[in-house]
Chains A and B, each alone.
Chain A
């Protein structure tokens, strides 16, 4: 997942701050090619940066109208380029990026109606281009009939998996309906997982790659929970992962700061059927002990049995993630002592679920059943604790087939 790889690189770079809203950004970084059907949304996000702003295109083709924008292909030069752009904007040496969309209200409205609101009756019309919320449904929790708000979120919303777009109806801060309109970009795995389908690979290498993948997910979850510091620690651990690495310190800090007991609400419980559909660690956190590694003779020789949790909620999934990282490190260390390779080919348990004859598929349509009734923060924490995207058929190094993610970065001195 290359956009994500870029974000991780930038998260560790000093002097660059990733912001949650384009209003807070000075530079819009587009990492990887954006497919044409998302250009309209990208234009919208671009136009939402307050001026002066600039764009930086990393291995990506600038949008029509932004031909003069800076392009860059080298990952290591990225932090520097962002800082330079910000500095030029601030000193006025670089003009602002032009607006791409025409300056028109979303709907015509002015001058019509008794109150100039653009329509008939008190609430009719589209004042400032949008109707007022008049959409009454009985609430799913307490049955009160109040307004609900419908909107489309994504595909460039920082707290959702990259590329995911959903139509959501909220009543208060509770999710009433959720329908996934665009599924997240497929994630690319470390090449060792794809190799394992073809030929035996060293178990140590496979397990380290798995632990790394889980740590990357932990980084995103912790950032969303407001634990930026521990998120960075998880990331640093992933970058320097060796056979002797330990996650005890990270686990201890997470327990002590109350991540499990205070921050996670224990909502977002999967049913057995949903868990089976998502597969992988989320299924094991729901109590299913499906793991292709149990079928591998060499894993069995290492004494492998799947770790499981019973609860199947957000808390159980993060506990499971940590437990699987620990297990992977132990397995890797044992395997390297005995120089063991995988014995099965043609199937592999990826960090995102089992890959036998088919790749792990996208499961984000399940959110429509899982999320209604959850409070907004709980819903996003649930999404962060799951891993819904499909697995790409290309391994991580193939930049040309990079999935796409846009994110905005503001740089502060």
Chain B
């Protein structure tokens, strides 16, 4: 039942979001080509914007993957934490300590700077 409610809420809000866009625009012709040119203060681009874009923070995204994996262990850990007591503290403490060394190393290597 919970999931059904969630699905109804999701579909209704998604539908509303699409309907508000679609209803006033259903008879609207496509704007003229000059209007569709990207806004550059009166200037024009040479090419389309889609390209092999140079993402400047790519090493940071690799570091994130290490932590995202760790999150998966953390969810069940959080539930049994009080029950397991000190053992849970030690286990997660060690895990986090190792990952923290990773952050310090990454920082020293300048991973968070725009490459």
A residues near B (Cβ < 8 Å) are 21-23, 38, 41-45, 47-51, 99-106, 127-135, 139, 141-142, 144, 146-158, 160, 165, 171-174, 375
Contacts and interface: CB of A to CB of B under 8 A. Distances in A.
Given A139-B54, A154-B41, A174-B56, 14 more contacts: A41-B43, A42-B42, A45-B42, A47-B35, A48-B34, A101-B32, A105-B33, A133-B52, A151-B45, A152-B44, A152-B45, A154-B40, A171-B54, A172-B55
Interface in B23-43: 31-35, 37, 39-43
Contacts of A173: 56, 114
B50 A132 contact: yes
Given A141-B114, A147-B52, A174-B54, A130 B32 contact: no
A29 to B, nearest CB: 15
Contacts of A165: 41-43
B46 interface: yes
Contact of A132 (B42, B44, B48): B48
Given A21-B39, A150-B46, A171-B54, A47 B114 contact: no
A142 B54 CA distance: 10
B44 to A, nearest CB: 6
Contact of B51 (A142, A147, A153, A154): A147
A359 B11 CA distance: 65
Nearest to A173: B56
Interface of B: 31-35, 37, 39-56, 114-115
A120 B46 CA distance: 19
Contacts of A135: 46-47
Contacts of B33: 103-106, 129
A373 B6 CA distance: 48
Contact of A22 (B39, B49, B55): B39
User: Lowest 8 A-B CB distances belong to which pairs?
Assistant: A157-B41, A172-B54, A41-B42, A152-B43, A133-B51, A147-B51, A151-B45, A103-B32
15 contacts: A41-B42, A50-B31, A103-B32, A103-B33, A103-B34, A104-B33, A133-B48, A139-B54, A147-B54, A149-B45, A151-B45, A154-B40, A156-B42, A172-B56, A375-B56
Contact of B115 (A50, A105, A142, A152): A142
A133 B47 contact: yes
Contacts, number: 129
A146 B41 CA distance: 26
B42, B44, B56 — which one has the most chain A CB atoms within 10 A of its CB? Answer: B42
Nearest to B56: A172
Tell me whether chain A's interface is mostly helix, strand or loop, or mixed: loop
A21 to B, nearest CB: 5
Tell me whether chain B's interface is mostly helix, strand or loop, or mixed: loop
Given A130-B46, A131-B46, A153 B41 contact: yes
A141 B115 contact: yes
Contacts of B35: 47-50, 99
A148 B32 CA distance: 27
A99 B54 CA distance: 36
Contact of B41 (A45, A130, A375): A45
A154 B52 contact: no
A47 B52 contact: no
A287 to B, nearest CB: 27
A41, A102, A160, A172 — which one has the most chain B CB atoms within 10 A of its CB? Answer: A172
B62 to A, nearest CB: 15
Nearest to B43: A152
Contacts of A146: 51-54
Contacts of A139: 54
Contacts of B42: 38, 41-42, 44-45, 154-157, 165
A47 B115 contact: no
A23 B38 CA distance: 10
A43 B32 CA distance: 13
A377 to B, nearest CB: 11
Contacts of B50: 132-133
B77 to A, nearest CB: 35
A144 B37 CA distance: 29
Contacts of A142: 115
